[in-house]
A and B are shown apart, each in its own frame.
Chain A
Amino acid sequence: MEKPSLFKRLASIGEKNLLIELTVYPDLSVSVADILMEMMQGKREDLEALNESVKMKEKEGDNYSKKFNALVTRGAVNPSLIDNLLFLINRLDDVIDRSYYLSREIKRMNFDYVPRNGNISTVTGPFYQKFVHMLTSGKEAMSCVKGMLSEAGMDSIRDYMKKIEIIEEAVDDLKDSVLDETYRRADEMNYLVFNHITSMVHKIDDMVDDCEDAAGLILSIYESLTR
C-alpha cells in the first residue's frame, strides 16, 4: 500500500477520503430499500429476481467492508479513530445485511406461502403499507448519514444528527403501532404470519437504529479530529 506524503497526512486527506468513500453504503442502502419497497408493492413473479439483486448488493456491501477494514487498519489513520471507524463500517454494513434478511422474508412469505393461502395477503397488505412508510423514513435517515459523511461544516452535521434522531423516534412509534395492530388482529393470522410481521417490523426498526448509531459514530470521529 502506498504511504501517504507528509502533506496528505497533515491535511487529514486519508481520513477525509475514507469517510467520503463510505458514502457507498448509504447509496447501496437506499437502492436496496427501493427494491424492498418494490417487492412489497410489486408482482409476485418478480420476487425471485428482486431477491437476487438484494443478495448481490449485500455481497457488494461485504466486499466494501473488507476493503475499508483493511484501509483503516493499515492506513495512516490516527489509532484513536480506528475503533470508531471499524464500528462505523460495521454499522453501515449491518443496514444492508438486515435488508437482505427482509428481502428473503418477503420472498418466502409471498412466493412460497401466500400462493397456497391466497386470502392472507389481505391481512399482510396494510402492514406492508406501514413497512413501506418506515422504509421511506429509513431512506431519509440514510441520506442524512450520507450528508454527514460528505459535509465539512459542524453545524450542518449536527442538523443531520437531529434529523436522524427525529426520524428514529417516528419509526419507533410506527413500529409500536404495527405491533399493537398485530396483537389486535392476531386471531386473523396464524403463527407464521404473526412471526413474519413482527420480525419484519423489528428488522426495519433495527435498520433505522443502525443509522442513528452510525450518525453518532461519525459525530464522535469528527469531534476527535477537531477537539
Chain B
Amino acid sequence: MQLFLVAVLLGGILTILVSGNNLSVSVGTLIGAKIVRRSTGILIGIIGYITGLIIEGDRLRYAATSLLPHSFYYVSMALLISIIAFILATVLRSPLSLTMVLVGTVIGISIHLGRIPEENLLLLIVIMWVASPIMSIAISYFFNKSMVKRNPRNIWKTATTLKWLLVGAAFFTSFTLGANTLGFILNLVGGGTLVTAVMVVGIVIGSIFFSEGAIRRVGEEMYSMRYSSAVVSLLGSAALVEAATILGIPLSNSQTLSASVVGSGLSYKFKAINFRPFLLIVETWVISTFIGLFLGYLV
C-alpha cells in the first residue's frame, strides 16, 4: 500500500512536470500570437489534457503493462528517474523528451531484470520514433505548401477561420498529449479512479503554476510563424501522436512538433535553412532514450 501511494505521488509529480512543460507545445502559439489570453489558453490546455486522459488514456495500457513488470517498486523507480532526468535537463538546459526518458527507463529496468520486453511492441516503438519526425516533416511540408499557394477571397474571413483552426489544433494537441504521454503514466501506475484523480489535480497544478517559462520561450519562437504554418504544424504533429495512441505506442509530442515546424519552414520558397532544429530532434532522441535506458538499467 505504501509503495502504491509513493508511485501515485511520483506519478502526480511527473504529471505536473509533463503538463507544465508541454503546455507551451499545445497552446504556446495561441498565447504568443495574442489570439487568446494566457488564462484562456491554459484552460484550453487543461480541458484537452483531461479529456484526452479520460477518453483515450486506456489505449496505452498494453504498452505500459508489457514494457515493465507490474511492481509499484519498479514503477516508482521509473517515475523517479524520469523526474530527476527532467530536473537535470532543465538545470543543464539540455533538450529532453519526458516520454522518451520514461519509456527508455522502463525498458532499461526490464532489461536489468532479465525480462526482454515484447519484441513486436519494441519494434513498433522504434519504427514509430524514427518514422514520426520524418512523416511530420513531410506532412507539414506538403500541407503548408498547398496552403501558401491558395488565394484567399476574403482576408478577414480567412484570418478568422485560421484562428479558429488554431484553437482547435491547440485543443487537439493537448488532447493527444493527455491521451498518449499522460495515458502512459496513468497505466504505468496502474490506472483507476484514485490515480486519475491525482493526475487531474497534477494537470491543473502543472498547467497553472509550471508552464509560464516554457510558454514564453516556445510561444516566442512559434508566434513568429504565420497562422497557416502554425495550424499545419500543430495539426500534423497531433495527428501523428493520435495515430500512435490508437496503435498504443507512446510518442513524444514535442519531438513531432519540432519536426513539423521544420517541415513548414522548408515549404516556403524563400527560406533560410537552419539545421539546429534537425540536430535538436536527433539530440533529443539520443539523449532522452539513452539516459532513460542507462539509468533504468543501472538502478
Contacts and interface: CB of A to CB of B under 8 A. Distances in A.
Interface string A191-227: 0000000000000000000000000000000111111
Given A224-B226, A225-B227, A77 B34 contact: yes
B37 A227 contact: no
A16 B148 contact: no
A80 B35 contact: no
B154 A9 contact: no
B156 interface: yes
A197 B34 CA distance: 49
Interface stretch (A61-69, A86-94, A130-138, A147-155): A147-155
A71 to B, nearest CB: 13
Contacts of A152: 154-157
The binding surface of chain B is classed by DSSP as helix
Interface residues of B, number: 29
A9 B152 contact: no
Contact of B34 (A11, A79, A227): A79
Instruction: Categorize the interface residue count of chain A.
Output: 20 to 34
Nearest to B151: A154
Interface in B114-168: 147-148, 151-160, 162-164, 167
B94 interface: no
A15 interface: yes
Interface in B22-48: 32-37, 40
A225 B155 contact: yes
Interface string A76-106: 1111100000000000000000000000000
A3 interface: yes
A227 B147 contact: yes
A222 B155 contact: yes
Contacts of B226: 80, 223-224, 227
A129 interface: no
Contacts of A80: 33, 223-226
A10 B35 contact: yes
B164 A10 contact: yes
A75 B206 CA distance: 29
The binding surface of chain A is classed by DSSP as helix
A25 to B, nearest CB: 19
Contacts of B33: 78-80
Nearest to A14: B34
A222 B228 CA distance: 13
Given A10-B163, A15-B159, A153-B153, A227 B32 contact: no
A12 interface: yes
A1 interface: no
B158 A225 contact: yes
Contacts of A11: 156, 160, 163
Give the interface centre of A16, A153, A225, A227 by most chain B CB atoms within 10 Å.
A227
Contacts of A12: 156, 159-160, 163
A76 B38 CA distance: 12
Contacts of B158: 225-226
B155 A226 contact: yes
B137 to A, nearest CB: 20
A227 B148 contact: yes
Contacts of A15: 159
Interface in A1-30: 3, 6, 9-12, 15-16
A187 B155 CA distance: 55
A155 B153 contact: yes
A72 to B, nearest CB: 12
Nearest to B268: A227
Interface of B: 32-37, 40, 147-148, 151-160, 162-164, 167, 223-228
Interface of A: 3, 6, 9-12, 15-16, 76-80, 152-155, 157, 222-227
Given A6-B36, A12-B156, A15-B159, 4 more contacts: A6-B40, A9-B35, A154-B151, A226-B227
20 contacts: A9-B34, A9-B35, A10-B167, A11-B160, A16-B156, A76-B34, A78-B35, A78-B223, A79-B33, A79-B34, A80-B225, A80-B226, A152-B155, A152-B157, A154-B154, A154-B155, A224-B226, A225-B159, A225-B162, A226-B155
4 tightest A-B CB contacts, nearest first: A225-B159, A226-B158, A226-B152, A12-B159
